[in-house]
Structure 1
Amino acid sequence: MNIARIVVLAIALSAGGVAAYLASGMTDSKAPAPAAAPVAQLQTVDVLVAKADIGLGQTLNANDVIWQTWPASTASGSFIRRSDRPDATNQIAGSIARAPFVAGEPIREAKLVKADGSGFMAAILPSGYRAVATEISAETGAGGFILPNDRVDVILTRHLKNPNPTQPDIVVSEVALTNIRVLAIDQAPKEKDGTNSVIGRTVTLALKPEETTHLATARQAGTLSLALRSIADANQVAVSTNEQIQHPSINVVRYGVTNPSTAATK
Protein backbone atom coordinates (compact mmCIF):
# COMPACT_ATOMS: atom_id res chain seq x y z
CA MET A 1 0.00 0.00 0.00
CA ASN A 2 2.81 2.39 0.86
CA ILE A 3 4.53 1.55 -2.38
CA ALA A 4 1.38 2.45 -4.37
CA ARG A 5 1.15 5.80 -2.64
CA ILE A 6 4.79 6.50 -3.37
CA VAL A 7 4.26 5.69 -7.04
CA VAL A 8 1.22 7.99 -7.31
CA LEU A 9 3.13 10.80 -5.57
CA ALA A 10 6.08 10.39 -7.92
CA ILE A 11 3.82 10.53 -10.97
CA ALA A 12 2.15 13.70 -9.65
CA LEU A 13 5.47 15.39 -9.01
CA SER A 14 6.68 14.45 -12.48
CA ALA A 15 3.52 15.84 -14.11
CA GLY A 16 3.89 19.09 -12.11
CA GLY A 17 7.46 19.48 -13.18
CA VAL A 18 6.59 18.92 -16.84
CA ALA A 19 3.76 21.52 -16.61
CA ALA A 20 6.09 24.06 -14.97
CA TYR A 21 8.67 23.51 -17.67
CA LEU A 22 6.16 23.97 -20.48
CA ALA A 23 4.76 27.12 -18.87
CA SER A 24 8.21 28.69 -18.50
CA GLY A 25 8.96 27.91 -22.12
CA MET A 26 5.80 29.59 -23.35
CA THR A 27 6.52 32.68 -21.25
CA ASP A 28 10.02 32.97 -22.62
CA SER A 29 8.79 32.64 -26.20
CA LYS A 30 6.44 35.71 -25.91
CA ALA A 31 7.68 38.87 -27.61
CA PRO A 32 8.36 41.81 -25.27
CA ALA A 33 5.53 44.37 -25.05
CA PRO A 34 6.17 47.51 -27.14
CA ALA A 35 7.11 50.63 -25.25
CA ALA A 36 4.30 53.19 -24.79
CA ALA A 37 4.42 56.08 -27.22
CA PRO A 38 5.43 59.34 -25.59
CA VAL A 39 2.47 61.64 -24.81
CA ALA A 40 2.64 65.01 -26.55
CA GLN A 41 3.06 67.84 -24.04
CA LEU A 42 0.22 70.38 -24.31
CA GLN A 43 1.53 73.92 -24.47
CA THR A 44 -0.10 76.23 -21.94
CA VAL A 45 0.02 79.89 -20.97
CA ASP A 46 -1.04 81.78 -17.85
CA VAL A 47 -3.96 84.12 -18.60
CA LEU A 48 -5.40 86.81 -16.35
CA VAL A 49 -9.06 86.05 -15.54
CA ALA A 50 -11.75 87.42 -13.24
CA LYS A 51 -11.57 85.81 -9.82
CA ALA A 52 -15.30 86.44 -9.26
CA ASP A 53 -18.10 88.23 -11.08
CA ILE A 54 -17.22 91.84 -11.92
CA GLY A 55 -20.13 94.21 -12.47
CA LEU A 56 -20.49 97.12 -14.85
CA GLY A 57 -18.75 100.17 -13.42
CA GLN A 58 -16.84 98.24 -10.76
CA THR A 59 -13.36 99.52 -9.98
CA LEU A 60 -10.87 96.65 -10.16
CA ASN A 61 -8.07 95.88 -7.74
CA ALA A 62 -5.41 93.19 -7.64
CA ASN A 63 -7.67 90.85 -5.63
CA ASP A 64 -10.38 90.81 -8.30
CA VAL A 65 -8.23 88.90 -10.82
CA ILE A 66 -6.11 85.75 -10.82
CA TRP A 67 -3.73 83.94 -13.17
CA GLN A 68 -5.17 80.78 -14.73
CA THR A 69 -3.53 78.17 -16.97
CA TRP A 70 -5.02 78.00 -20.47
CA PRO A 71 -4.11 75.93 -23.56
CA ALA A 72 -1.96 78.15 -25.74
CA SER A 73 -3.97 77.22 -28.82
CA THR A 74 -7.19 78.66 -27.35
CA ALA A 75 -5.74 81.81 -25.79
CA SER A 76 -6.75 84.82 -27.86
CA GLY A 77 -4.28 87.56 -28.64
CA SER A 78 -6.47 90.00 -26.70
CA PHE A 79 -5.95 88.07 -23.45
CA ILE A 80 -3.42 89.33 -20.91
CA ARG A 81 -0.59 86.78 -20.59
CA ARG A 82 1.78 86.51 -17.67
CA SER A 83 4.73 85.94 -20.04
CA ASP A 84 4.08 89.35 -21.63
CA ARG A 85 2.92 91.33 -18.58
CA PRO A 86 3.92 89.67 -15.32
CA ASP A 87 2.82 92.72 -13.29
CA ALA A 88 -0.59 93.04 -14.96
CA THR A 89 -2.51 92.47 -11.71
CA ASN A 90 -1.12 95.74 -10.38
CA GLN A 91 -1.26 97.56 -13.72
CA ILE A 92 -5.02 97.16 -14.10
CA ALA A 93 -5.75 98.23 -10.52
CA GLY A 94 -8.00 101.28 -10.58
CA SER A 95 -9.50 100.45 -13.98
CA ILE A 96 -13.28 100.56 -14.41
CA ALA A 97 -15.22 97.73 -16.04
CA ARG A 98 -17.04 99.08 -19.11
CA ALA A 99 -18.87 95.75 -19.37
CA PRO A 100 -19.51 92.94 -16.88
CA PHE A 101 -17.16 89.97 -16.43
CA VAL A 102 -18.19 86.53 -15.18
CA ALA A 103 -15.98 84.48 -12.91
CA GLY A 104 -13.22 82.81 -14.93
CA GLU A 105 -13.62 85.11 -17.93
CA PRO A 106 -10.31 86.39 -19.36
CA ILE A 107 -9.66 90.07 -18.71
CA ARG A 108 -9.49 92.15 -21.90
CA GLU A 109 -8.32 95.74 -22.14
CA ALA A 110 -11.22 96.60 -24.46
CA LYS A 111 -13.65 96.08 -21.56
CA LEU A 112 -11.65 98.26 -19.15
CA VAL A 113 -11.08 102.00 -18.98
CA LYS A 114 -8.90 104.17 -16.79
CA ALA A 115 -10.98 106.92 -15.21
CA ASP A 116 -7.97 109.24 -14.67
CA GLY A 117 -10.01 111.33 -12.26
CA SER A 118 -13.10 111.57 -14.45
CA GLY A 119 -16.54 110.49 -13.32
CA PHE A 120 -17.84 106.99 -13.91
CA MET A 121 -20.26 107.97 -16.66
CA ALA A 122 -17.58 109.87 -18.61
CA ALA A 123 -15.32 106.82 -18.29
CA ILE A 124 -17.79 104.30 -19.74
CA LEU A 125 -19.31 106.59 -22.37
CA PRO A 126 -18.24 105.48 -25.88
CA SER A 127 -16.09 107.86 -27.89
CA GLY A 128 -18.11 110.38 -29.90
CA TYR A 129 -21.24 110.06 -27.75
CA ARG A 130 -22.88 112.31 -25.19
CA ALA A 131 -24.85 111.35 -22.09
CA VAL A 132 -28.18 113.17 -21.98
CA ALA A 133 -30.86 112.76 -19.31
CA THR A 134 -34.58 113.21 -19.83
CA GLU A 135 -37.65 112.74 -17.66
CA ILE A 136 -39.71 109.55 -17.76
CA SER A 137 -42.51 107.94 -15.79
CA ALA A 138 -43.89 104.43 -15.46
CA GLU A 139 -46.29 105.22 -18.31
CA THR A 140 -43.67 106.70 -20.64
CA GLY A 141 -40.88 104.27 -19.69
CA ALA A 142 -42.40 100.93 -20.79
CA GLY A 143 -43.89 100.29 -17.38
CA GLY A 144 -40.48 100.28 -15.70
CA PHE A 145 -39.15 97.31 -17.68
CA ILE A 146 -36.39 99.30 -19.36
CA LEU A 147 -33.00 98.57 -17.83
CA PRO A 148 -29.50 99.99 -18.35
CA ASN A 149 -27.89 98.77 -21.59
CA ASP A 150 -31.29 98.17 -23.21
CA ARG A 151 -32.06 99.77 -26.59
CA VAL A 152 -35.07 102.04 -27.03
CA ASP A 153 -36.88 104.25 -29.52
CA VAL A 154 -37.80 107.75 -28.36
CA ILE A 155 -41.34 108.72 -29.35
CA LEU A 156 -42.60 112.31 -29.36
CA THR A 157 -46.31 112.96 -28.80
CA ARG A 158 -47.82 116.42 -29.43
CA HIS A 159 -51.29 117.91 -29.03
CA LEU A 160 -52.16 120.33 -31.86
CA LYS A 161 -54.99 122.79 -31.76
CA ASN A 162 -57.75 121.95 -34.20
CA PRO A 163 -58.64 124.94 -36.42
CA ASN A 164 -62.25 123.97 -35.95
CA PRO A 165 -63.08 124.88 -32.33
CA THR A 166 -65.97 122.43 -32.31
CA GLN A 167 -63.63 119.49 -32.97
CA PRO A 168 -61.17 117.88 -30.50
CA ASP A 169 -57.47 118.59 -30.62
CA ILE A 170 -55.25 116.56 -32.95
CA VAL A 171 -52.79 114.15 -31.33
CA VAL A 172 -49.61 113.61 -33.36
CA SER A 173 -46.92 111.05 -32.53
CA GLU A 174 -43.60 110.48 -34.27
CA VAL A 175 -40.41 108.48 -33.72
CA ALA A 176 -37.83 111.08 -32.75
CA LEU A 177 -34.83 108.78 -32.22
CA THR A 178 -34.27 105.08 -32.89
CA ASN A 179 -32.06 102.35 -31.43
CA ILE A 180 -30.72 104.44 -28.54
CA ARG A 181 -28.70 102.83 -25.76
CA VAL A 182 -29.85 103.41 -22.18
CA LEU A 183 -26.91 104.25 -19.94
CA ALA A 184 -28.72 104.53 -16.62
CA ILE A 185 -32.11 104.76 -14.94
CA ASP A 186 -32.02 107.55 -12.34
CA GLN A 187 -28.54 107.07 -10.86
CA ALA A 188 -28.34 103.31 -11.45
CA PRO A 189 -26.04 102.34 -14.35
CA LYS A 190 -26.72 98.62 -13.90
CA GLU A 191 -29.21 96.07 -12.61
CA LYS A 192 -29.25 95.46 -8.88
CA ASP A 193 -29.63 91.97 -7.41
CA GLY A 194 -31.25 90.52 -10.52
CA THR A 195 -33.82 93.29 -10.82
CA ASN A 196 -35.86 92.89 -14.00
CA SER A 197 -37.69 96.22 -13.78
CA VAL A 198 -36.65 99.71 -12.71
CA ILE A 199 -39.15 102.53 -12.26
CA GLY A 200 -37.28 105.83 -12.32
CA ARG A 201 -37.89 109.49 -12.96
CA THR A 202 -35.02 110.13 -15.36
CA VAL A 203 -33.25 108.09 -18.00
CA THR A 204 -29.74 108.77 -19.31
CA LEU A 205 -29.26 108.04 -23.00
CA ALA A 206 -26.10 107.72 -25.11
CA LEU A 207 -26.55 110.11 -28.04
CA LYS A 208 -24.48 111.37 -30.93
CA PRO A 209 -23.92 115.16 -30.94
CA GLU A 210 -26.58 115.79 -33.60
CA GLU A 211 -29.06 113.67 -31.66
CA THR A 212 -28.68 115.72 -28.49
CA THR A 213 -30.15 118.85 -30.08
CA HIS A 214 -32.95 116.84 -31.67
CA LEU A 215 -33.86 115.37 -28.26
CA ALA A 216 -33.80 118.82 -26.61
CA THR A 217 -36.16 120.18 -29.27
CA ALA A 218 -38.48 117.19 -28.98
CA ARG A 219 -38.57 117.49 -25.20
CA GLN A 220 -39.87 121.06 -25.47
CA ALA A 221 -42.32 120.21 -28.24
CA GLY A 222 -44.33 117.57 -26.38
CA THR A 223 -44.25 114.42 -24.29
CA LEU A 224 -41.50 111.83 -24.73
CA SER A 225 -42.06 108.10 -24.39
CA LEU A 226 -39.61 105.21 -24.60
CA ALA A 227 -40.34 102.07 -26.61
CA LEU A 228 -38.22 99.08 -25.60
CA ARG A 229 -36.55 97.31 -28.52
CA SER A 230 -35.98 93.58 -28.82
CA ILE A 231 -32.46 92.25 -28.30
CA ALA A 232 -32.69 90.84 -31.83
CA ASP A 233 -33.03 94.40 -33.16
CA ALA A 234 -30.11 95.84 -31.19
CA ASN A 235 -27.66 95.49 -34.10
CA GLN A 236 -30.07 96.86 -36.64
CA VAL A 237 -28.78 99.87 -38.56
CA ALA A 238 -30.46 102.95 -37.14
CA VAL A 239 -31.88 105.67 -39.38
CA SER A 240 -29.79 108.82 -39.24
CA THR A 241 -31.11 111.76 -37.24
CA ASN A 242 -31.30 113.97 -40.35
CA GLU A 243 -33.53 111.45 -42.09
CA GLN A 244 -35.71 111.23 -39.00
CA ILE A 245 -36.11 115.01 -38.94
CA GLN A 246 -36.88 115.31 -42.63
CA HIS A 247 -39.33 112.40 -42.89
CA PRO A 248 -40.75 111.56 -39.46
CA SER A 249 -43.35 108.82 -39.36
CA ILE A 250 -46.39 110.08 -37.47
CA ASN A 251 -49.75 108.86 -36.33
CA VAL A 252 -52.62 111.37 -36.42
CA VAL A 253 -55.56 110.62 -34.15
CA ARG A 254 -58.87 112.14 -35.19
CA TYR A 255 -62.17 111.22 -33.59
CA GLY A 256 -60.49 108.31 -31.85
CA VAL A 257 -59.24 106.81 -35.14
CA THR A 258 -55.47 106.50 -35.80
CA ASN A 259 -54.29 107.32 -39.33
CA PRO A 260 -50.59 106.75 -40.16
CA SER A 261 -48.98 109.36 -42.38
CA THR A 262 -45.67 111.02 -43.14
CA ALA A 263 -44.92 114.68 -42.64
CA ALA A 264 -42.15 116.12 -44.83
CA THR A 265 -40.48 119.34 -43.74
CA LYS A 266 -39.20 121.79 -46.28
Structure 2
Amino acid sequence: MSPVRLLIVLIAAVSAIGLAVVLQRALGAKPGRPVAATAPAAAPDKPMTQVLVAKRDLAIGERLTAADIGWQAWPSDAINGAFVTNGAAPAKPQGKVALAQAVVAGAADHMIGGDPAKALEGAIVRDPILTGEPITSRKIVRGGEGGYLSVVLTPGKRAMAVPVSTDTAAGGFILPGDRVDVLSTHDAPNPGPDGGKLILAETVLRNIRVLALDQSTTAGKDAKTIVAASATLEVGPAEAEALARAKAGGPITLALRAYTDLGAPSGMTQAVASDSAIRINRGGQTTSVAVRP
Protein backbone atom coordinates (compact mmCIF):
# COMPACT_ATOMS: atom_id res chain seq x y z
CA MET A 1 0.00 0.00 0.00
CA SER A 2 1.29 3.37 -0.94
CA PRO A 3 2.02 5.95 1.81
CA VAL A 4 -0.75 8.21 0.52
CA ARG A 5 -3.46 5.52 0.82
CA LEU A 6 -2.19 4.54 4.30
CA LEU A 7 -2.49 8.16 5.46
CA ILE A 8 -6.06 8.38 4.14
CA VAL A 9 -7.08 5.19 6.01
CA LEU A 10 -5.59 6.44 9.30
CA ILE A 11 -7.36 9.81 8.99
CA ALA A 12 -10.70 8.08 8.32
CA ALA A 13 -10.25 5.76 11.32
CA VAL A 14 -9.39 8.65 13.67
CA SER A 15 -12.37 10.63 12.38
CA ALA A 16 -14.72 7.69 12.98
CA ILE A 17 -13.44 7.22 16.53
CA GLY A 18 -13.77 10.95 17.25
CA LEU A 19 -17.31 11.04 15.89
CA ALA A 20 -18.32 8.09 18.10
CA VAL A 21 -16.95 9.80 21.21
CA VAL A 22 -18.77 13.04 20.38
CA LEU A 23 -22.07 11.18 19.89
CA GLN A 24 -21.73 9.30 23.19
CA ARG A 25 -21.05 12.49 25.13
CA ALA A 26 -23.97 14.22 23.42
CA LEU A 27 -26.27 11.42 24.55
CA GLY A 28 -25.04 11.72 28.17
CA ALA A 29 -23.58 8.24 28.47
CA LYS A 30 -20.09 7.25 29.35
CA PRO A 31 -18.07 5.57 26.62
CA GLY A 32 -18.34 1.80 26.62
CA ARG A 33 -21.67 1.70 28.58
CA PRO A 34 -25.19 1.40 27.11
CA VAL A 35 -27.59 4.29 27.56
CA ALA A 36 -30.52 3.35 29.88
CA ALA A 37 -33.75 5.41 30.41
CA THR A 38 -34.50 6.17 34.08
CA ALA A 39 -38.00 7.11 35.39
CA PRO A 40 -38.29 10.08 37.77
CA ALA A 41 -38.80 9.19 41.43
CA ALA A 42 -42.50 9.18 42.39
CA ALA A 43 -43.53 11.77 44.98
CA PRO A 44 -44.92 10.20 48.18
CA ASP A 45 -48.75 10.39 48.58
CA LYS A 46 -49.99 12.92 51.13
CA PRO A 47 -51.94 11.23 53.99
CA MET A 48 -55.70 11.94 53.77
CA THR A 49 -58.58 11.37 56.20
CA GLN A 50 -62.32 11.14 55.47
CA VAL A 51 -64.15 14.06 57.13
CA LEU A 52 -67.93 14.51 57.41
CA VAL A 53 -69.00 17.70 55.58
CA ALA A 54 -72.20 19.43 54.47
CA LYS A 55 -73.32 18.72 50.90
CA ARG A 56 -75.36 21.93 50.71
CA ASP A 57 -75.85 25.18 52.60
CA LEU A 58 -77.71 24.47 55.85
CA ALA A 59 -79.69 27.17 57.64
CA ILE A 60 -80.48 27.50 61.33
CA GLY A 61 -83.28 25.17 62.44
CA GLU A 62 -82.97 22.71 59.54
CA ARG A 63 -83.06 19.02 60.39
CA LEU A 64 -80.21 16.95 58.93
CA THR A 65 -80.94 14.06 56.57
CA ALA A 66 -78.64 11.49 54.96
CA ALA A 67 -78.64 13.55 51.75
CA ASP A 68 -77.32 16.66 53.57
CA ILE A 69 -74.00 15.19 54.74
CA GLY A 70 -71.23 13.11 53.18
CA TRP A 71 -67.57 12.09 53.44
CA GLN A 72 -64.78 14.13 51.86
CA ALA A 73 -61.02 13.52 51.78
CA TRP A 74 -59.14 16.01 53.95
CA PRO A 75 -55.36 16.43 54.46
CA SER A 76 -54.52 14.61 57.67
CA ASP A 77 -52.10 17.30 58.82
CA ALA A 78 -54.95 19.86 58.61
CA ILE A 79 -57.44 17.89 60.71
CA ASN A 80 -59.10 19.82 63.53
CA GLY A 81 -60.05 18.04 66.74
CA ALA A 82 -63.68 19.16 66.31
CA PHE A 83 -64.07 17.46 62.91
CA VAL A 84 -66.00 14.20 62.60
CA THR A 85 -64.06 11.43 60.83
CA ASN A 86 -64.92 7.87 59.83
CA GLY A 87 -62.22 6.54 62.13
CA ALA A 88 -60.08 5.16 59.28
CA ALA A 89 -56.44 6.23 59.68
CA PRO A 90 -54.26 6.90 56.60
CA ALA A 91 -51.32 4.64 55.83
CA LYS A 92 -48.45 4.93 58.31
CA PRO A 93 -49.29 8.26 59.96
CA GLN A 94 -46.42 9.77 61.88
CA GLY A 95 -45.78 12.58 64.30
CA LYS A 96 -48.39 15.33 64.43
CA VAL A 97 -50.60 13.52 61.92
CA ALA A 98 -50.96 10.49 64.18
CA LEU A 99 -51.69 12.72 67.17
CA ALA A 100 -54.36 14.68 65.27
CA GLN A 101 -56.09 11.48 64.17
CA ALA A 102 -56.14 10.14 67.71
CA VAL A 103 -57.72 13.36 68.97
CA VAL A 104 -60.33 13.38 66.19
CA ALA A 105 -61.29 9.75 66.70
CA GLY A 106 -61.75 10.31 70.42
CA ALA A 107 -63.80 13.47 69.88
CA ALA A 108 -66.06 11.80 67.33
CA ASP A 109 -66.68 8.77 69.53
CA HIS A 110 -67.44 11.00 72.51
CA MET A 111 -69.79 13.24 70.53
CA ILE A 112 -71.89 10.71 68.68
CA GLY A 113 -70.57 7.17 68.91
CA GLY A 114 -71.16 4.43 66.36
CA ASP A 115 -71.52 5.39 62.70
CA PRO A 116 -71.16 9.20 62.65
CA ALA A 117 -73.11 9.75 59.42
CA LYS A 118 -76.13 7.77 60.65
CA ALA A 119 -75.98 9.17 64.18
CA LEU A 120 -76.25 12.75 62.93
CA GLU A 121 -79.47 12.18 60.99
CA GLY A 122 -82.27 14.17 62.61
CA ALA A 123 -79.93 16.66 64.32
CA ILE A 124 -80.89 20.34 64.22
CA VAL A 125 -78.60 23.02 62.78
CA ARG A 126 -77.69 25.58 65.47
CA ASP A 127 -75.39 27.81 63.36
CA PRO A 128 -75.33 28.14 59.53
CA ILE A 129 -73.15 25.54 57.75
CA LEU A 130 -71.84 26.14 54.23
CA THR A 131 -71.39 23.57 51.46
CA GLY A 132 -68.19 21.58 52.00
CA GLU A 133 -67.77 22.81 55.58
CA PRO A 134 -66.90 20.09 58.13
CA ILE A 135 -69.68 19.20 60.58
CA THR A 136 -68.82 20.03 64.19
CA SER A 137 -70.69 19.52 67.45
CA ARG A 138 -70.76 23.28 68.04
CA LYS A 139 -73.02 23.85 65.04
CA ILE A 140 -75.58 21.09 65.56
CA VAL A 141 -77.88 19.93 68.35
CA ARG A 142 -79.26 16.45 68.70
CA GLY A 143 -82.41 15.39 70.55
CA GLY A 144 -81.83 15.16 74.31
CA GLU A 145 -78.91 17.62 74.31
CA GLY A 146 -79.00 21.02 76.00
CA GLY A 147 -80.30 23.79 73.78
CA TYR A 148 -82.22 21.42 71.51
CA LEU A 149 -85.69 22.81 72.23
CA SER A 150 -84.61 26.44 71.86
CA VAL A 151 -83.34 25.64 68.34
CA VAL A 152 -86.52 23.81 67.36
CA LEU A 153 -88.74 26.71 68.45
CA THR A 154 -90.05 29.04 65.77
CA PRO A 155 -88.59 32.57 66.23
CA GLY A 156 -90.77 34.60 68.59
CA LYS A 157 -92.49 31.53 70.05
CA ARG A 158 -92.37 30.03 73.54
CA ALA A 159 -92.40 26.46 74.84
CA MET A 160 -94.94 25.77 77.57
CA ALA A 161 -95.88 22.48 79.23
CA VAL A 162 -99.34 21.41 80.28
CA PRO A 163 -100.36 18.31 82.26
CA VAL A 164 -102.06 15.59 80.23
CA SER A 165 -103.19 12.02 80.57
CA THR A 166 -104.47 9.33 78.27
CA ASP A 167 -108.00 10.71 78.70
CA THR A 168 -107.01 14.32 77.96
CA ALA A 169 -104.54 13.62 75.11
CA ALA A 170 -106.66 11.69 72.60
CA GLY A 171 -105.89 8.32 74.13
CA GLY A 172 -102.14 8.74 73.65
CA PHE A 173 -102.38 9.12 69.87
CA ILE A 174 -100.97 12.65 70.00
CA LEU A 175 -97.27 12.58 69.01
CA PRO A 176 -94.54 15.25 68.82
CA GLY A 177 -95.09 17.35 65.70
CA ASP A 178 -98.88 16.97 65.71
CA ARG A 179 -101.29 19.92 65.85
CA VAL A 180 -103.91 20.23 68.59
CA ASP A 181 -106.64 22.48 69.94
CA VAL A 182 -106.40 23.35 73.64
CA LEU A 183 -109.66 23.18 75.58
CA SER A 184 -110.21 24.45 79.11
CA THR A 185 -112.85 23.04 81.44
CA HIS A 186 -113.94 24.84 84.58
CA ASP A 187 -116.88 25.26 86.92
CA ALA A 188 -119.13 28.30 86.91
CA PRO A 189 -121.97 29.30 89.22
CA ASN A 190 -125.45 28.57 87.97
CA PRO A 191 -127.62 31.69 88.28
CA GLY A 192 -130.75 29.71 87.55
CA PRO A 193 -133.39 28.86 90.16
CA ASP A 194 -132.01 25.33 90.54
CA GLY A 195 -128.64 26.60 91.78
CA GLY A 196 -125.70 24.18 91.61
CA LYS A 197 -122.76 24.56 89.26
CA LEU A 198 -122.29 24.73 85.54
CA ILE A 199 -119.39 22.99 83.80
CA LEU A 200 -118.07 25.14 80.99
CA ALA A 201 -115.68 24.02 78.25
CA GLU A 202 -114.13 26.42 75.77
CA THR A 203 -111.41 26.30 73.12
CA VAL A 204 -108.59 28.52 74.33
CA LEU A 205 -106.04 27.87 71.56
CA ARG A 206 -106.33 26.25 68.17
CA ASN A 207 -103.96 24.50 65.77
CA ILE A 208 -101.04 24.53 68.21
CA ARG A 209 -97.85 22.57 67.50
CA VAL A 210 -96.80 19.85 69.96
CA LEU A 211 -93.05 20.05 70.59
CA ALA A 212 -92.60 17.17 73.01
CA LEU A 213 -94.34 14.67 75.22
CA ASP A 214 -92.56 14.41 78.57
CA GLN A 215 -88.89 14.58 77.46
CA SER A 216 -89.43 12.92 74.08
CA THR A 217 -89.11 15.27 71.10
CA THR A 218 -89.59 12.47 68.55
CA ALA A 219 -91.68 9.35 68.47
CA GLY A 220 -89.88 6.02 68.56
CA LYS A 221 -89.59 3.91 65.45
CA ASP A 222 -93.04 2.62 64.41
CA ALA A 223 -94.56 4.19 67.56
CA LYS A 224 -98.24 5.03 67.18
CA THR A 225 -98.99 6.20 70.71
CA ILE A 226 -97.17 7.86 73.61
CA VAL A 227 -98.54 7.84 77.15
CA ALA A 228 -97.18 10.97 78.82
CA ALA A 229 -97.79 13.10 81.88
CA SER A 230 -97.04 16.43 80.17
CA ALA A 231 -97.12 17.95 76.71
CA THR A 232 -94.91 20.86 75.64
CA LEU A 233 -96.66 23.22 73.24
CA GLU A 234 -95.31 26.00 70.99
CA VAL A 235 -97.17 29.23 71.73
CA GLY A 236 -96.75 32.98 71.34
CA PRO A 237 -96.41 35.40 74.28
CA ALA A 238 -100.15 36.25 74.44
CA GLU A 239 -101.05 32.60 73.91
CA ALA A 240 -98.80 31.63 76.82
CA GLU A 241 -100.72 33.99 79.11
CA ALA A 242 -104.06 32.57 77.97
CA LEU A 243 -102.79 29.05 78.50
CA ALA A 244 -101.56 29.90 82.01
CA ARG A 245 -104.99 31.27 82.93
CA ALA A 246 -106.66 28.18 81.51
CA LYS A 247 -104.35 25.88 83.52
CA ALA A 248 -105.21 27.76 86.69
CA GLY A 249 -108.93 27.52 85.99
CA GLY A 250 -109.20 23.76 85.60
CA PRO A 251 -108.21 20.69 83.59
CA ILE A 252 -106.68 21.07 80.10
CA THR A 253 -107.71 18.81 77.23
CA LEU A 254 -105.88 18.45 73.90
CA ALA A 255 -107.94 17.71 70.80
CA LEU A 256 -105.94 16.25 67.90
CA ARG A 257 -106.17 18.12 64.59
CA ALA A 258 -106.04 16.53 61.14
CA TYR A 259 -102.75 16.57 59.26
CA THR A 260 -104.43 18.58 56.50
CA ASP A 261 -105.07 21.41 59.02
CA LEU A 262 -101.37 22.32 59.05
CA GLY A 263 -102.03 25.60 57.22
CA ALA A 264 -105.20 26.45 59.12
CA PRO A 265 -105.36 29.54 61.40
CA SER A 266 -103.35 29.10 64.57
CA GLY A 267 -103.38 30.86 67.93
CA MET A 268 -105.98 32.26 70.27
CA THR A 269 -109.68 32.03 69.57
CA GLN A 270 -111.75 35.20 69.72
CA ALA A 271 -111.89 36.71 73.18
CA VAL A 272 -114.93 35.45 75.04
CA ALA A 273 -116.87 38.02 76.98
CA SER A 274 -117.70 37.30 80.57
CA ASP A 275 -121.08 35.82 81.38
CA SER A 276 -123.95 38.27 81.62
CA ALA A 277 -127.22 37.73 83.40
CA ILE A 278 -130.57 38.73 82.01
CA ARG A 279 -133.84 38.70 83.78
CA ILE A 280 -136.84 36.89 82.35
CA ASN A 281 -140.31 37.63 83.69
CA ARG A 282 -142.83 34.81 83.30
CA GLY A 283 -146.22 34.99 84.91
CA GLY A 284 -145.03 37.45 87.45
CA GLN A 285 -141.93 35.43 88.34
CA THR A 286 -138.50 36.80 87.53
CA THR A 287 -135.50 34.55 86.97
CA SER A 288 -131.88 35.32 86.03
CA VAL A 289 -130.21 33.35 83.25
CA ALA A 290 -126.52 33.49 82.32
CA VAL A 291 -125.95 34.22 78.68
CA ARG A 292 -122.85 34.50 76.53
CA PRO A 293 -122.81 36.69 73.40
Q: TM-score range by the shorter chain?
A: 0.5 to 0.7
TM-score, structure 1 as length reference: 0.53
CA distance in 1, matches of 2:169, 2:131: 46
Q: SS state of the match for residue 193, structure 1?
A: coil
Uncovered stretches (5+) of structure 2, i.e. residues with no partner:
1-53, 57-63, 70-110, 119-128, 275-289
Residue 140 of structure 2, aligned match among 95, 115, 120: 95
Residues 140 and 225 in structure 1, CA contact (< 8 A), matched pair in contact too:
yes
CA deviation digits over 1:31-74, x for unaligned, max 9? xxxxxxxxxxxxxxx945844899xxxx8799317xxxxxxxxx
CA deviation digits over 1:4-38, x for unaligned, max 9? xxxxxxxxxxxxxxxxxxxxxxxxxxxxxxxxxxx
Q: CA deviation at 1:175?
A: 0.5
The structure having more radius of gyration, on CA atoms, is 2
1:245 aligned residue:
271
1:63 paired to 2:116: yes
Paired residues for 1:136-175 under 5 Å: 136-164=164-192, 166-175=194-203
2:244 aligned residue:
216
Q: CA deviation at 1:142?
A: 0.8
Q: SS state of the match for residue 140, structure 1?
A: coil
Q: CA deviation at 1:245?
A: 2.1
CA distance in 2, matches of 1:215, 1:185: 17
Q: CA deviation at 1:158?
A: 1.4
Residues 183 and 202 in structure 2, CA contact (< 8 A), matched pair in contact too:
yes
1:127 aligned residue:
155
Question: Which AA in structure 1 matches 2:257?
Answer: R
CA distance in 2, matches of 1:232, 1:90: 35
1:34 aligned residue:
none
2:256 aligned residue:
228
TM-score, structure 2 as length reference: 0.48
Residues 141 and 147 in structure 2, CA contact (< 8 A), matched pair in contact too:
no
Residues 60 and 97 in structure 1, CA contact (< 8 A), matched pair in contact too:
no
Residues 50 and 64 in structure 1, CA contact (< 8 A), matched pair in contact too:
no
Q: CA deviation at 1:177?
A: 0.3
Question: Which AA in structure 1 matches 2:233?
Answer: L
Uncovered stretches (5+) of structure 1, i.e. residues with no partner:
1-45, 66-79, 99-116, 249-260
Aligned residues: 166
CA distance in 2, matches of 1:130, 1:145: 23
Identity of aligned residues (%): 32
1:76 aligned residue:
none
Tell me: CA distance 1:169–1:262, structure 2 relative to 1, closer, same or farther (3 Å): closer
